[in-house]
Amino acid sequence: MVAAEINTQEAQIRHLLENLSAYIEQFHGGTVEFVSLKEDTLKIKLGGACLNCPLHPATLHGWVEGTVHQFFPDVKVVED
């Protein structure tokens, strides 16, 4: 991938995470933050009500990772 493609992909992923975060915050009190994107690894941070929630893994793997994979199938999502 060339630098311009990476920057575009990063901008698209940031936008996607902002939309996910807005939904999660409005309906569940949690947040999703972009931390970094290096090659095919996306680091995120869950916050707010997600921190002590027993459904934290479902939010991370189901909503966040699942949604990112729909649009960017080669990106691996990890929590920071």
pLDDT at 66: 93
Residue range 5-57, pLDDT digits in tens: 557 899 999 999 999 999 989 988 999 999 999 989 999 999 999 888 898 88
The pTM is what? Answer: 0.84
Q: What are the structural domain ranges in the chain?
A: 3-79
Cα torsion at 62, 80, 30, 51 (round to 10°)? 100
pLDDT at 48: 92
CATH classification of 3-79, choosing from 3.40.630.10, 3.30.300.130, 3.20.20.70, 3.40.50.970? 3.30.300.130
